[in-house]
């Protein structure tokens, strides 16, 4: 007698009359391959967990963003936000497409230089730039975005002893009708700080040239309209500079902040149903700039530092089930071999998780935990998945932004990152850490070398 295939017994109470708030069947439809490469093969070849990035998806998203802006506005330049994902291979896909680099530390700056980005095409943001950092940026003719007056004074001090002029912009913060307002970076527009900083810069024409104005009004912005407010306020400053100093500002940098299709925690609606499209953002920004009243020859270049919306979709995290448990209150819980250590964005997002193999139509609501011995290590507080077993594989969606930079080496080590190229070939673009990788950086004082237990 041949035996029937086994699925662990399952029973669930049916609540008549209430809508299934856990979404539709498509949500837990299996994802068995990424860009045509079977998930099972990826895990067999590269281990579990593993991050998998699609080059095709990165380029596609980039092309869509470029099209949305360039069809509406004549001068557009993207700059890749390094902190969002600074794996060199990822950066170079953006650089091949024409993106400049946007960095916020000397570490990121050096990465950009080593990737071959010309100094002139590096935007140096961030509140922490030492005099040495500034000196390198001035020598390379990078765009220095001044964050506060202390930085301005430091730069003046540096430039007084240098033969070279600096190319600078200021970061402006402002009320765009969005709460919370990000006012800790840059100079405030409404209270006159920004105008004051501009005047200070313009009073040193021999040392520096004010070439641009920058803002980054927040992240995962659900309102496209906030960008038209921001574009208007930067334009207003640029126009006043033109009037008062007869100086044409060559670019306005609207920063990043466009939402990706991930679903924010606490949001009842799916991210993809509520976020503005890249066309909505583009329309809000470009129509404001075009209608502001710049003379054609003074029209500023529009720079964008779009991060998460460019890369989130392009990466998946593949992982495996370690254990299935029942919590004391009866809820099903499942322990995965990845946790918040490598999926940092699980703190903000309810990441979509798909099984990587076929199942029956039965599903259960469950809590998804990571492998860390910490209460905070929860990947999903409630998700509906088929009847997974130990060893089964899952695919976590939209993990391209901030995970491969904010991940931590905590309890376990960080896994490999694999790129699937345009031809479907796979490449390791970052090796997994090993005990040696970590131990290399440690030093043992002589008197602690031997132990005798």
Partner 1 sequence: MYVNKNLAISDTGFIFNPSTGDSFSTNEVGKFIIDLLKQKKSKEEIISQIVLHFNVDKVNADKDLSDFFAMLKSYQLMLDENE
Residue 19 touching partner 1 (CB under 8 A): no
In terms of C-beta density within 10 A (0-12 exposed, 13-18 middle, 19 or more buried), how is residue 15 classed?
exposed
User: Binder to partner 1 among 10, 107, 153, 347 (CB under 8 A)?
Assistant: 10
- The span from the CA of 386 to the CA of 287, in Å, is 47
Burial group, residue 115, by CB count within 10 angstroms (0-12, 13-18, 19+): middle
User: In the beta sheet, which residues pair with residue 172?
Assistant: 187
CB 60 within 8 Å of CB 313: no
In the complex, the smallest distance separating the C-beta of residue 43 from ligand PLP, rounded to whole angstroms, is 29
**Nearest approach, Cβ of 13 to ligand PLP (angstroms)?**
41
DSSP annotation of 349: B
Q: Would you give the binding string for partner 1 spanning residues 245-284, x where CB under 8 A is met?
A: ----------------------------------------
Rounded Cα distance between 436 and 448, Å, is 19
Q: Is 13 in the site for partner 1 (CB under 8 A)?
A: yes
How far out from the chain centre does Cα 48 lie? 23
Q: In terms of CB distance, is 18 or 203 closer to partner 1?
A: 18
Contact pattern for partner 1 over residues 376 through 405, marking x by CB under 8 A: -----------x------------------
Least distance CB 14 / partner 1 (angstroms): 5
Beta bridge partners of 420: 54, 426
Smaller CB distance to partner 1: residue 265 or 326? 326
Size of the site for partner 1 (CB under 8 A): 18
Which one of the spans 9-17, 123-131, 216-224, 404-412 is the region binding partner 1 (CB under 8 A)?
Answer: 9-17
**Quick one: what does residue 16 bind among ligand PLP, partner 1, none, with the CB cut-off 5 to 8 Å set by partner type?**
partner 1
- C-beta of 18 vs 296, nearer to partner 1: 18
- What span, in angstroms and rounded, lies between the C-alpha atoms of 224 and 281? 5
449 binds, among partner 1, ligand PLP, none (CB under 5 to 8 A by kind): none
CB of 391 to partner 1, least distance (A): 12
Q: How far apart are CA 62 and CA 311, in angstroms?
A: 9
Decide if residue 6 touches partner 1 (CB under 8 A): yes
d(CA 128, CA 133): 9
Report which DSSP code applies to 207: T
d(CA 43, CA 45): 5
Residue 364 burial class via C-beta count within 10 angstroms: exposed 0-12, middle 13-18, buried 19 and up = middle
Could you say which residues in the range 303-342 bind partner 1, by CB under 8 A? 326, 330
Q: Which partner, ligand PLP, partner 1, none, binds residue 256 by CB below 5 to 8 Å per kind? A: ligand PLP
Contact residues for partner 1, defined by CB under 8 A = 3-14, 16, 326, 330, 360, 362, 387
């Amino acid at each position: 007698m041949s035996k029937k295939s086994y699925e662990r017994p399952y029973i669930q109470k049916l609540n008549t009359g209430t809508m299934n708030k856990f979404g539709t069947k498509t949500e837990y439809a299996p994802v068995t391959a990424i860009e045509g490469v079977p998930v099972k093969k990826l895990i067999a070849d590269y281990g579990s967990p593993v991050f998998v990035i699609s080059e095709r998806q990165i380029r596609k998203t980039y092309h869509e963003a470029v099209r949305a802006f360039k069809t509406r506005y004549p001068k557009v330049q993207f700059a890749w936000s390094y902190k969002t994902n600074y794996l060199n291979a990822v950066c170079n896909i953006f650089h091949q497409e024409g993106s400049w680099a946007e960095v916020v530390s000397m570490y990121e700056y050096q990465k950009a230089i080593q990737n071959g980005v010309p100094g002139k095409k590096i935007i140096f943001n961030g509140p922490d730039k030492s005099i040495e950092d500034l000196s390198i940026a001035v020598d390379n003719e990078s765009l220095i975005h001044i964050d506060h007056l202390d930085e301005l004074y430091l730069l003046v001090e540096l430039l007084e002893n240098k033969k070279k002029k600096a190319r600078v912009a200021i970061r402006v913060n402002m009320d765009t009708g969005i709460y919370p307002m990000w006012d800790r970076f840059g100079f405030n527009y409404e209270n006159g700080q920004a105008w004051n900083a501009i005047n200070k810069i313009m009073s040193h024409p021999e040392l520096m040239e004010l070439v641009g104005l920058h803002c980054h009004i927040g992240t995962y912005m659900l309102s496209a309209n906030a960008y038209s407010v921001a574009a208007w306020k930067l334009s207003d400053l640029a126009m006043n500079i033109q009037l008062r100093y007869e100086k044409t500002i060559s670019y306005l940098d609207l920063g990043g902040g466009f939402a990706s299709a991930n679903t924010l925690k606490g949001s009842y609606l799916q991210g993809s149903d509520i976020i503005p499209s890249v066309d909505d953002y583009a329309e809000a920004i470009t129509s404001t700039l075009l209608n502001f009243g710049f003379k054609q020859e003074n029209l500023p270049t529009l720079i964008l530092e779009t991060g998460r919306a460019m890369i989130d979709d392009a990466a998946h995290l593949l992982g495996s089930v370690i254990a299935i448990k029942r919590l004391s209150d009866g809820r099903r819980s499942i322990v995965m071999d990845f946790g918040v250590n490598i999926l940092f964005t699980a703190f903000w997002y309810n990441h979509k998780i798909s099984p990587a193999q076929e199942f029956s139509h039965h599903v259960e609501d469950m809590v998804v935990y990571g492998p860390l011995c910490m209460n905070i290590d929860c990947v999903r507080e409630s998700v509906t998945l088929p009847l997974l077993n130990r060893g089964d594989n899952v695919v976590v969606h939209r993990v391209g932004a901030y995970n491969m930079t904010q991940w931590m080496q905590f309890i376990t080590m960080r896994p490999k990152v694999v790129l699937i190229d345009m031809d479907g070939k796979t490449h390791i673009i970052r090796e997994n850490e090993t005990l040696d990788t970590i131990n290399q950086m440690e030093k043992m004082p002589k008197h602690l070398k031997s132990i005798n237990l």
